[in-house]
């Protein structure tokens, strides 16, 4: 059985902090260690800590939600969910992979930018992924790209990994362009990314992509992604659609988005 950790949330209100600046203390024999929510490398090194914080305590529902809307979208077509060959971008320690595998999928390829995510997946969920690459999709070299393309993925998912300094536009578009045309795309984003007032490159890209001819949207659902550290619901959109064709650089440039 995985050990429970002694974790403590800070005493003072954190509502004025950005979501990516939130932190907690891990209590141990050496004293209290302060860890930010975005210190994934540190979190993954401690077995069960990621699950305890985000799933047990903060009630994250996103892998289940994104899997269910993807399944509903695929059901509207002639395709079979169990035949999907899925690229999981920002796979972390395999929470989404585990959810997808419960439903049965044909191939599952994980990608993350930190070594610790891969190590934790092998330690905690061995055998979930057919291959798992630690790479930066903004600088994918040609050999690695060819290798990933050779898995012939016809679906990409990315869960709890977009925005907040995580997966940037260029990496998202690279993955989108790696999967086959007529392939499936499912991801979640914080609801504020849909505000026209959010001028960040990632928000603009998502808004432009959703209304573009490169994708047909099948589902958009607002739901509670998880609780904040203060116990407030954090709302996200889960989105599923079908890719029509690759997004060319010119499209992003014409919208004033830096890829």
Ligand X SMILES: C[S@@+](CC[C@H](N)C(=O)[O-])C[C@H]1O[C@@H](n2cnc3c(N)ncnc32)[C@H](O)[C@@H]1O
Instruction: Note the residues at the interface with ligand X (CB under 6 A).
Output: 40, 62-63, 89-92, 95-96, 111-114, 117, 136-137, 159-161, 166-167, 171
90 vs 183 by CB, closer to ligand X: 90
62 vs 68 by CB, closer to ligand X: 62
Cα(91)–Cα(206) distance, integer angstroms:
20
The distance of closest approach from Cβ of residue 41 to ligand X in the complex, given in angstroms and rounded to an integer, is: 8
Residue with tokens 């060319």: 248
90 vs 241 by CB, closer to ligand X: 90
Residue with tokens 């940037």: 168
Half-sphere exposure of 116 (CA within 13 A, CB side): 12
The distance of closest approach from Cβ of residue 40 to ligand X in the complex, given in angstroms and rounded to an integer, is: 4
Residue with tokens 């898995």: 151
The distance of closest approach from Cβ of residue 47 to ligand X in the complex, given in angstroms and rounded to an integer, is: 15
168 vs 241 by CB, closer to ligand X: 168
Cα(13)–Cα(155) distance, integer angstroms:
40
The distance of closest approach from Cβ of residue 29 to ligand X in the complex, given in angstroms and rounded to an integer, is: 27
The distance of closest approach from Cβ of residue 177 to ligand X in the complex, given in angstroms and rounded to an integer, is: 15
71 vs 166 by CB, closer to ligand X: 166
Cα(191)–Cα(22) distance, integer angstroms:
18
Give the CB-nearest residue to ligand X.
Answer: 92
Q: In what order do the strands lie in the sheet with 233-243?
A: 131-134, 107-112, 85-89, 155-158, 184-190, 233-243, 215-227
100 vs 209 by CB, closer to ligand X: 100
Cα(101)–Cα(14) distance, integer angstroms:
36
Which tokens sit at 26?
């891990």
Instruction: Work out whether strand 184-190 and strand 155-158 pair parallel, antiparallel, or are unpaired.
Output: parallel
Burial of 178 from C-beta contacts in 10 A (0-12 / 13-18 / 19+): buried
């Amino acid at each position: 059985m995985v050990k429970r950790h002694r974790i403590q949330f800070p005493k003072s209100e954190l509502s004025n902090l950005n979501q990516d600046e939130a932190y907690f203390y891990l209590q141990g024999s050496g004293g209290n260690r302060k860890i930010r929510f975005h210190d994934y490398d540190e979190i993954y090194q401690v077995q069960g800590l990621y699950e305890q914080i985000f799933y047990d305590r903060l009630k994250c529902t996103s892998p289940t939600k994104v899997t269910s809307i993807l399944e509903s979208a695929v059901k509207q077509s002639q395709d079979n969910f169990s035949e999907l060959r899925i690229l999981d971008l920002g796979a972390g320690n395999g929470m989404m992979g585990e959810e997808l595998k419960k439903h049965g999928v044909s191939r599952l390829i994980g990608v993350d930018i930190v070594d610790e995510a891969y190590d934790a997946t092998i330690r905690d969920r061995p055998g979930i992924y057919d291959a798992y690459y630690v790479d930066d999709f903004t600088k994918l070299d040609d050999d690695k790209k060819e290798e990933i393309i050779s898995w012939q993925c016809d679906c990409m998912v990315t869960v709890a990994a977009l925005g907040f300094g995580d997966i940037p536009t260029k990496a998202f578009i690279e993955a989108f362009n790696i999967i086959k045309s007529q392939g499936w795309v499912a991801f979640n984003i914080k609801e504020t990314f849909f505000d026209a007032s959010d001028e960040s490159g990632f928000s603009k890209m998502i808004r432009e992509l959703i209304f573009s001819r490169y994708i047909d949207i099948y589902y958009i659902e607002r739901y509670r992604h998880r609780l904040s550290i203060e116990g407030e619901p954090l709302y996200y959109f889960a989105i599923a659609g079908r890719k029509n064709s690759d997004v060319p650089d010119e499209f992003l440039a014409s919208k004033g988005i830096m890829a």
